[in-house]
């Protein structure tokens, strides 16, 4: 594979993501999201990337979930993409902000109806007595909205990780991997450096 080159890490990321869409057998947009609570106690889980551009990396969730509560208390997060088929990894660290209502509404409207109902039915991260309780809530909200439009729940929105640092890792023979780190330099610029594997 060619060396990691370029001035804009977002463009490099988008190129790698496109290649992952062609090679990953399942969920090329899957990423680990690491958050921490007010006391700095970390937690991590897999989520799906929904947008990546110059503004940052966006995903959507229930604001009352563990990750939503943690992000509201501590606006710093990290992401990790690992594309095993390409033998590549991308690490991202930055601050987090909620997306605007119009953007969240637009994405919610693009989701499958079952996923829209699920966003209303799931008390994400809270105790569940059993599967039947969830199915009952799904039926309740399916009946409530009938065949009409399902509005976005007030507790559901998107978050955007605004990267301060992006590291690209590429497998190389003899564990002499390539690691290139881009660090935010002002509003739109980046400084670049290589680090030992």
Q: Give the chain's mean pLDDT.
A: 95
pLDDT at 174 (0 to 100): 92
Q: What residues contact 151, with CB distance under 8 A and at least 6 apart?
A: none
Q: What is the C-alpha separation between 86 and 157, in angstroms, rounded?
A: 31
**pLDDT of 176 above 80:** yes
What confidence tens digit (pLDDT) does each residue in 16-71 have? 999 999 999 899 999 999 999 999 999 999 999 999 999 999 999 999 999 999 99
**pLDDT of 76 above 70:** yes
pLDDT at 48 (0 to 100): 98
The pair of three-digit structure tokens given for residue 176, joined into one six-digit string = 């002499």
Banded pLDDT at 1 (limits 50, 70, 90): low
Q: What is the C-alpha separation between 36 and 73, in angstroms, rounded?
A: 8
pLDDT at 100 (0 to 100): 97
Residue 107, CA distances (Å) to 59, 145, 154, 185 in order = 10, 19, 14, 31
Collapsed DSSP state (helix, strand, coil) of residue 196: coil
Quick check: 164 and 184 in contact, CB under 8 A? yes
pLDDT at 155 (0 to 100): 96
Collapsed DSSP state (helix, strand, coil) of residue 144: helix
pLDDT at 64 (0 to 100): 95
24-28, 163-167, 168-172 — which is least confidently predicted?
24-28
- Calculate helix-pair angle for 113-121, 131-145, nearest 10 degrees: 120
Residues of the chain above pLDDT 70, percent: 98
**pLDDT of 132 above 80:** yes
Domains in the chain, ordered, with CATH? 9-111+154-194 (2.30.110.10)
The whole-model pTM stands at 0.93
Q: Which residues are catalytic?
A: 175
């Amino acid at each position: 594979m060619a060396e990691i080159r370029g001035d804009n890490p977002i463009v490099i990321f988008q190129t790698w993501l496109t290649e992952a869409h062609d090679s990953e057998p399942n969920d090329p947009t899957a990423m680990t999201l690491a958050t921490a609570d007010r006391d700095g106690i970390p937690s991590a889980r897999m989520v799906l990337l929904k947008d990546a551009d110059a503004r940052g990396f966006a995903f959507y969730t229930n604001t009352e979930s563990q990750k939503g509560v943690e992000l509201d208390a501590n606006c710093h997060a990290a992401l990790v993409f690992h594309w095993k088929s390409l033998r590549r990894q991308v690490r991202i660290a930055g601050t987090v902000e909620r997306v605007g209502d119009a953007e969240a509404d637009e994405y919610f409207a693009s989701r499958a109806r079952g996923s829209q109902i699920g966003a209303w039915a799931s008390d994400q991260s809270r105790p569940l007595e059993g599967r039947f309780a969830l199915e009952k809530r799904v039926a309740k909200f399916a009946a409530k909205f009938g065949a009409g439009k399902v509005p976005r729940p007030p507790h559901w929105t998107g978050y955007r990780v605004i990267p301060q640092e992006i590291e690209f890792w590429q497998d190389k023979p003899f564990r002499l991997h390539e690691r290139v780190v881009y660090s935010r330099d002002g509003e739109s610029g980046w400084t670049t450096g290589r680090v030992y594997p």
